[in-house]
A and B are shown apart, each in its own frame.
Chain A
Amino acid sequence: MNIVRFAGRALRREFRHGELRTLAAALVLAVAALTAVATLGQRVERAIVASAAELIGGDLGVSARREIPADYAAEATRLGLRSNRSAEFPSVVFAAGKSQLAQVNATDVNYPLRGVLQVRGGDGAERDVTAPASGEAYADGLLLSALGLKPGDALELAGKPLVVKGEILRQPDGGQMFSLAPRLVVALADAQGSGLLAVGSRARHKLMLAGDATALATYQAWAKPRLTDGAQLVTVAEAQQNLRSAFERGESFLRLAALLSALLSGIAVALAAQRYARRKIDEVALLRALGLGKHRVLATLSLTILLLGLPACFIGAGLGLALQQAVLSYAGNLLPTAAPPPSLWPALAAMVVGLAVLVGFALPPLARLRDVPPMRVFQRAIAMRPRRFDLLYLLPPLVAFGLIASQSGSATIASAIGGSLAGVAVATLAMGLLLIWLLRRVGRRLPGALRFGLANLARRRSLSLIQATALALSFTALLLLAVVGPGLLAAWRADLPPQTPNHFLLNLQPEQRDRVEQQLNALGAKNMNLLPLAVGKLVAINGKAPRAEDYDDRRAAGWINGETRLSWSATLPESNALKAGAWFDGKATEPQISVERMWVDMLRLKLGDTMTFTVGERTIEARISSIREADWTSFRVNFFVLLDPASAAALPHSFIASYWLPAERAAELRAISREFPNLSMIDINAILDRVRDIIDQVTSAVMAVLGFSLIAGLLVLIAALNVSAEERRFETAMLRTLGARRGQLLSTVLGEFALLGLIAGVIAAVGAISAGLSLGRGVFRIAWTPPFGAFALGVVAAVALVTLAGWLGTRSIARTSPLLVLRKE
């Protein structure tokens, strides 16, 4: 027998049966979700790799808090390298009575060395340009929109008027993910002339280089030992790693969402295959009687499912590719450069996983059919020989574990995720059982349709619980993202005490302090918190130079190799709590230092240890006399390291301040900015708004993939309906025979699925609220009150969705003729 032809014909004839269509749909969904996420991840990775040099605006660079000495550029020229000088700093930009914090990139004419600076001019034409000339600027769309400007209009930076020559469409060195403020590109000479780059400014100076690899290597070897005062080399590899780390977080959420879709699809596949196998029992008995061997039976059935699965995988891959393109179109601005075209390898890998899901979840019920005795053709009562244990029963959990491992990247993480999912599923099952039990207790008081519906749910309890669990998992994930996440963020912001500082002021010079304080007070500034700021470098702990590789925490490298911001205060600053030791009493004979707990833990410090810092020309060795814990969410100025005032007062320093200003007076900061152009004024609310916008974009992408898991949950519902279809059909025929009206039957169906939706919705709401309370009070320590209205709406949506899906899935059953009863007799 040609089993391929036989299987193909069988599939063609049987595709009209619901369970095969459900199985195919579940597979399409699983492969689509996995393809979308894998392809997206690969394109983002490739964008990061492909834009390597663009990420940093060159092949190599030197970065420092002060102007790069001239000999660095001279050496670059000597080696034949091209160079570009720039300085980046935040500053407020003013125009037409409005103000907006911007991330300013002041650069010389050699920009960009790598990548493209593309702008759209006033004529609407897009062109690639180099750095703006003096008196001109390029601004990105966000800045133009915030200030109500268009190309050709003027804005003011540190008192200097600049004409906007174009809107930035594309710029090297970072996408919007890494810019918490809109971008502005100006001529370096303009920034230098405005005083924004004076000594003590917050600007980050860079000398970027491009050229021959050998020359670059020579330059790197020359520059490395000469770096001082917090200067560091900027390399492509480091920038790539930083970007990867940022995107990995978002990608992991996407992978979890795809994983949930794939697992729920697997459950739908298993239910559909079970129904298909049950329907095939008599046919298999006949085929065995007619002479088909048991192994060929299994081969034929497996081939039928495979012939169904292959095109389903292809369709799923196509759908997934379309979805990832849609996600990139929505959130692509977060990437540093345009993502390269997709490769087909992730789609192929997803298809292989899809086939594994098909085999893993569909094979066990089909394999049971090889035990159908041929004698069943004569005696229908003969059941299949029961198998106590079959290795095939291990296939679904093995495939599920493999799926989790493939998405999480390690067996350890897979075990943790698998355990958590299993725990959630068990908890959901338990809650479902409890809810069904509760409903049955009050069932007698329910109106007729709901009472019958509840009886249906209870009668098919296992199926009902599987449906409720699958749906509840999807709804919970969606509620967490759509309601809990934004709610926690909003609650955190609302939880801030009134007049919490909403502005920061940087680079305030000692001689400017009194005048600026006076002007801010005149504007109604409250809650001002002003502290000195000295920039130094940690050079020794207990007399030994610290090495980054000696510490587990990756942040230690940054603090050891980079600059340290020090301050001092006679009194313990607000928003700080003393954890050990004593505050400075002015009687110490040697320098003392107070260290924040994060540094203590990171660098493994203790009371009595010494730390040595260089600040400018001076070196200070101080003994740790106290350990503090700072409230970093207070928006007050905080420091990891505070010196005793007596030791520190002579250090070169500026001031940093935070204060609260009424929103309506913010535009008047312009006058202070004009008078003191070196000041950096930062509006915290604008930054928080930007953070919220970025989170919203990433959340939307994750929710798009979670939409698949919701559809997968509905497929589980439909697959379970298929399992009970025969029974429902007979029940319907019997009820119609006994005189039930169509309206009554419809009410029963609607009642059953409304209750199922209610159970799933309530479980999801309880789960999401529990998670929100746990996160809010346990992790973020904010008083988050669940928005019960939103959750109630979620439950109503669950009821509506499940009722609709259930009604659509049973519509054909409702049309069953009472004659079916007679025919069965």
Chain B
Amino acid sequence: MSPSAEVILSASDVSKAVLGPDGKLQILDRVSLSVPTGDSLAIVGASGSGKTTFLGLLAGLDNPDSGEIVLDGNPLNRLDEEARAALRRRRVGFVFQSFHLLPALTAEENVMLPLELEDSGGDARAAAQKALAAVGLDKRLHHYPSQLSGGEQQRVAIARAFVHGPRLLFADEPTGNLDARTGRAVTDLLFDLNQASGTTLVLVTHDLTLAQRCRHVVRLDGGRRVEEAA
């Protein structure tokens, strides 16, 4: 599915600072971007460049000090926490570096989680099984995370991210804890599913190979946007 001209995510002059031991520390300084629906964007930069912070702001997990972020037509700074949570529930999926699977839940139950949170009706279990089958883990439904390898855990996390049909998917260093071979396999899976579902993908990575698979790349350096490549 090819991206449309409609912008699903935009950030305008977003800034964020934190209070450190030596005073105020500017993490982001007037960063702007826009992402068309169905597109894929990589945010790259060295450690400490502010890319993970920026990802969190784009996903509505935190508020910028200044600037505006609009996610799927919703200006995030005008929404309270409950409204932002509702938006994430319905429209957003996440893939994390450390997988963040709940250790007390099986693979199937972890994937069911976004559907249970929304509770919009339908058979969450069937949907989870389908999602796990799509990532090749239909034989591991009842395994706990501790019984899965790193690559398998990340595949479960990917299944969880896609199970509820999100419009946007945010991925933070999705291959950061994986070896090169497993990382490539996971990356392929991520992009294949993304392509098939038409989800807009925004990922943070320091892996340039991964970044080059995205249609757009935004580089951050010292909290500022440096260049963009298509």
Residues of A near any B CB (own CB < 8 A):
1-2, 6, 9-10, 13-14, 17, 282-283, 286-295, 373-375, 377-380
Q: Which residues of chain B come closer than 8 Å to A14, judged between CB atoms?
A: 104
Q: Which residues of chain B come closer than 8 Å to A375, judged between CB atoms?
A: 53, 56, 61-62
Main SS at interface, chain B: helix
Assess whether B96 is in contact with A378, with CB atoms less than 8 Å apart: yes
Assess whether A373 is in contact with B119, with CB atoms less than 8 Å apart: no
Residues of B near any A CB (own CB < 8 A):
52-53, 55-56, 59, 61-62, 81-82, 85-90, 92, 94, 96, 98, 100, 102, 104-105, 109, 113-114, 116-119, 172
Decide yes or no: A6 and B105 within 8 Å by CB, A290-B94, A293-B85, A375-B56 being known contacts: no
Assess whether B61 is in contact with A293, with CB atoms less than 8 Å apart: no
Decide yes or no: A291 and B81 within 8 Å by CB, A282-B100, A286-B100 being known contacts: no
Q: Which residues of chain A come closer than 8 Å to B90, judged between CB atoms?
A: 291
Assess whether A377 is in contact with B85, with CB atoms less than 8 Å apart: no
The chain B residue sitting closest to A376, CB to CB, is B61
Provide 23 A-B residue pairs closer than 8 Å at the C-beta atoms, listed in order of the A residue: A1-B116, A2-B119, A17-B104, A282-B100, A286-B100, A289-B61, A289-B88, A290-B88, A290-B94, A290-B113, A290-B117, A291-B89, A292-B89, A292-B117, A293-B82, A293-B86, A294-B85, A375-B53, A375-B56, A375-B61, A378-B56, A378-B96, A379-B53
Decide yes or no: A291 and B88 within 8 Å by CB, A1-B118, A378-B52, A379-B52 being known contacts: yes
Q: Which of B88, B98, B105 contacts A13 (CB 8 A)?
A: B105
Assess whether B102 is in contact with A283, with CB atoms less than 8 Å apart: yes
Task: Give Cα A379 to B52, complex, Å.
Answer: 8
Decide yes or no: A291 and B118 within 8 Å by CB, A13-B105, A377-B96 being known contacts: yes
The chain A residue sitting closest to B98, CB to CB, is A380
Assess whether B62 is in contact with A291, with CB atoms less than 8 Å apart: no
Task: Give Cα A460 to B119, complex, Å.
Answer: 44
Main SS at interface, chain A: helix
Q: Which residues of chain A come closer than 8 Å to B86, judged between CB atoms?
A: 291, 293
Total contacts A to B, CB within 8 angstroms? 76
Assess whether A288 is in contact with B116, with CB atoms less than 8 Å apart: no
Task: Give Cα A378 to B203, complex, Å.
Answer: 12
The chain A residue sitting closest to B55, CB to CB, is A378
Q: Which residues of chain A come closer than 8 Å to B109, judged between CB atoms?
A: 9, 13
Assess whether A373 is in contact with B88, with CB atoms less than 8 Å apart: no
Q: Which residues of chain A come closer than 8 Å to B94, judged between CB atoms?
A: 289-290, 377
Decide yes or no: A288 and B117 within 8 Å by CB, A374-B61, A375-B62 being known contacts: no
Q: Which residues of chain A come closer than 8 Å to B56, judged between CB atoms?
A: 374-375, 378-379
Decide yes or no: A293 and B81 within 8 Å by CB, A13-B105, A283-B102 being known contacts: yes
The chain B residue sitting closest to A379, CB to CB, is B52
The chain A residue sitting closest to B52, CB to CB, is A378
The chain B residue sitting closest to A14, CB to CB, is B104
Assess whether B61 is in contact with A378, with CB atoms less than 8 Å apart: yes
Q: Which residues of chain A come closer than 8 Å to B105, judged between CB atoms?
A: 13
Q: A377-B100, A379-B52 are in contact. List 15 more A-B contacts (CB 8 A).
A: A1-B119, A14-B104, A288-B85, A289-B88, A290-B88, A290-B117, A291-B85, A291-B89, A291-B92, A291-B114, A294-B81, A294-B85, A374-B56, A378-B53, A378-B96
Assess whether B117 is in contact with A291, with CB atoms less than 8 Å apart: yes
Within the complex, the shortest CB–CB distance from B76 to chain A, in Å, comes to 13
Task: Give Cα A380 to B105, complex, Å.
Answer: 21
Task: Give Cα A295 to B86, complex, Å.
Answer: 13
Task: Give Cα A286 to B59, complex, Å.
Answer: 13
Task: Give Cα A1 to B89, complex, Å.
Answer: 11
Name which of A294, A374, A375, A378 has the most chain B CB atoms within 10 A of its CB. Answer: A378
Assess whether A289 is in contact with B102, with CB atoms less than 8 Å apart: no
Task: Give Cα A287 to B113, complex, Å.
Answer: 9
The chain A residue sitting closest to B51, CB to CB, is A378
Assess whether B102 is in contact with A286, with CB atoms less than 8 Å apart: yes
Q: Which residues of chain B come closer than 8 Å to A282, judged between CB atoms?
A: 100
Name which of B53, B61, B81 has the most chain A CB atoms within 10 A of its CB. Answer: B61
Assess whether B96 is in contact with A292, with CB atoms less than 8 Å apart: no
Q: Which residues of chain B come closer than 8 Å to A293, judged between CB atoms?
A: 81-82, 85-86
Task: Give Cα A309 to B119, complex, Å.
Answer: 26
Task: Give Cα A294 to B56, complex, Å.
Answer: 17
Assess whether B61 is in contact with A377, with CB atoms less than 8 Å apart: yes
Assess whether B172 is in contact with A292, with CB atoms less than 8 Å apart: no
The chain A residue sitting closest to B18, CB to CB, is A382
The chain B residue sitting closest to A13, CB to CB, is B104
Assess whether B114 is in contact with A290, with CB atoms less than 8 Å apart: yes
Assess whether A291 is in contact with B87, with CB atoms less than 8 Å apart: yes
Within the complex, the shortest CB–CB distance from B94 to chain A, in Å, comes to 6
Q: Which residues of chain A come closer than 8 Å to B114, judged between CB atoms?
A: 290-291
Q: Which residues of chain B come closer than 8 Å to A10, judged between CB atoms?
A: 104
Within the complex, the shortest CB–CB distance from A202 to chain B, in Å, comes to 76
Task: Give Cα A1 to B118, complex, Å.
Answer: 5
The chain B residue sitting closest to A1, CB to CB, is B119
The chain B residue sitting closest to A292, CB to CB, is B117
The chain B residue sitting closest to A17, CB to CB, is B104
The chain A residue sitting closest to B82, CB to CB, is A293
Q: Which residues of chain B come closer than 8 Å to A288, judged between CB atoms?
A: 61, 85
Q: Which residues of chain A come closer than 8 Å to B98, judged between CB atoms?
A: 380
Assess whether A292 is in contact with B85, with CB atoms less than 8 Å apart: yes
Q: Which residues of chain A come closer than 8 Å to B88, judged between CB atoms?
A: 289-291
Within the complex, the shortest CB–CB distance from A4 to chain B, in Å, comes to 11
Assess whether A289 is in contact with B87, with CB atoms less than 8 Å apart: no
Q: Which residues of chain B come closer than 8 Å to A289, judged between CB atoms?
A: 59, 61, 88, 94
Task: Give Cα A283 to B117, complex, Å.
Answer: 13
Within the complex, the shortest CB–CB distance from A181 to chain B, in Å, comes to 66
Task: Give Cα A431 to B43, complex, Å.
Answer: 59
Q: Which residues of chain A come closer than 8 Å to B61, judged between CB atoms?
A: 288-289, 373-375, 377-378
Task: Give Cα A374 to B55, complex, Å.
Answer: 12
Within the complex, the shortest CB–CB distance from B209 to chain A, in Å, comes to 22
Assess whether B62 is in contact with A373, with CB atoms less than 8 Å apart: yes
Task: Give Cα A291 to B59, complex, Å.
Answer: 11
Task: Give Cα A286 to B102, complex, Å.
Answer: 9
Task: Give Cα A380 to B55, complex, Å.
Answer: 15
Q: Which residues of chain B come closer than 8 Å to A290, judged between CB atoms?
A: 88-89, 94, 113-114, 117
Task: Give Cα A124 to B105, complex, Å.
Answer: 66
Task: Give Cα A9 to B89, complex, Å.
Answer: 20
Name which of A290, A292, A293, A375 has the most chain B CB atoms within 10 A of its CB. Answer: A290
Q: Which residues of chain A come closer than 8 Å to B89, judged between CB atoms?
A: 290-292
The chain B residue sitting closest to A282, CB to CB, is B100
Within the complex, the shortest CB–CB distance from A812 to chain B, in Å, comes to 15
Task: Give Cα A287 to B88, complex, Å.
Answer: 10
Task: Give Cα A13 to B104, complex, Å.
Answer: 6
